[in-house]
Amino acid sequence: MTELLPTLPLAIDLEAFASLGFWTGVGILAGTYTIFALGLQINVGFTGIFNFGQAGFMAIGAYSMAILVTDAELSFWLALPIAILITIAFGLLIGLPALRLRTDYLAIATIAAAEALRLFALNARDLTGGAQGIFGFDNDWDDVSDSILSGLESLGWTNPETLFPLFLVVWGVAIVLIIALTALQKTPWGRVLRAVREDEDAARALGKNAFAYKLQSLAIAAALGAIAGFFLALNLRFIIPDEFLPIFTFLGYAVLVLGGLASYWGVAVGSIVFWTLFEGLRFLELPFDEVQIRALQFIVLGLVLILLMAFRPQGMFGKRQEMVLGD
């Protein structure tokens, strides 16, 4: 029987896997998706609302920033806060009708809004460049990146990785956001979010405007999605609609499940584990083409999530008592 089974070499390209370039790239992706999934955490883990449109918030932030820089000719640094405000406004616009729906309908409404936005970006060629995308919005960032690289070289690091400044900045921002959100969660405002998650009717009976708190939670998630969109754009150096497919929201949920509900630090660890596993599989020396390797990545990820749900459904850092979601 064993003679009928194909023999697959399981060698690993250790040199490529251990290279600084690989870990810098994984680190940038992990940091970007940490920020991305923090928005999902405050929605799902702490408020009990299912936001399936986080990729749409990322798209709004990235496109708003790029359009403001390339078309309106604003400074990159001025475009960032304006793009965040635009994304928050979009989140409020979606949330006002959608948050009145039950959980399943809310999920459908948010994913539909995100996909409608992506299709708009694909077809509004004069504004967004369509499938060709937008380039040339990162000149101001390049100046900062070059300064950081020069500083690293002055410290004795010869030929540092070109993307290492982005790695430093994305994780610096991610850690600051985690600390800020953790502190915010310990305030009365954060405790009301938990109350809304566990029993919205009881929160209303205590005089709390549950709808307003859910809207605020969605607005914060939108802002976090916009910030993640900035880093995604700087990493790719271009913006195209295909970078904001619904699958990216589900990858954010995979990070959330791995790290655990109601744990901001768990999101960071889950993102690192996810992207190390996901990207590391590319260095297995298997007789597969690129498409098959990509399929294998999702198969292995699915198996990991199934095992996690079977043996530790609360995730690595989650708690079972936090696994209470609203209707």
Distance CA 167, CA 133 (A): 24
Q: Domain total for the chain?
A: 1
Query: What's the CATH code of the domain at 47?
Result: 1.10.3470
Closest to 44 in 3D by CA, of 284, 230, 252, 303: 252
Residue 217 forms part of a structural domain: yes
State which amino acid sits at residue 209. Answer: N
Give the domain range for residue 48.
Answer: 2-322
Residue 327 forms part of a structural domain: no
pLDDT of residue 308: 86
Q: What is the pLDDT of residues 188-202, one digit of tens each?
A: 999 999 999 999 999
pLDDT of residue 324: 55
Residue 188 forms part of a structural domain: yes
pLDDT-derived band of residue 3, with 50, 70 and 90 as boundaries? very low
* Burial letters 214-251, b for 16+ CB under 10 A, else e: bbbbbbbbbbbbbbbbbbbbbbeeebbbebbebebbeb
Residue 153 forms part of a structural domain: yes
Residue 267 forms part of a structural domain: yes
Residue 92 forms part of a structural domain: yes
Q: Do residues 259 and 33 touch, judged by C-beta distance below 8 A? A: no
Residue 178 forms part of a structural domain: yes
The verdict on pTM exceeding 0.85 is yes
pLDDT-derived band of residue 171, with 50, 70 and 90 as boundaries? very high
Distance CA 217, CA 179 (A): 17
Q: Do residues 173 and 28 touch, judged by C-beta distance below 8 A? A: no
- Residues 57-61 have a mean pLDDT of 97
Give the side-chain half-sphere CA count within 13 A for 276: 11
Query: Percentage of the chain surpassing pLDDT 70?
Result: 92
Residue 132 forms part of a structural domain: yes
Name the least confident of 15-19, 115-119, 317-321: 15-19
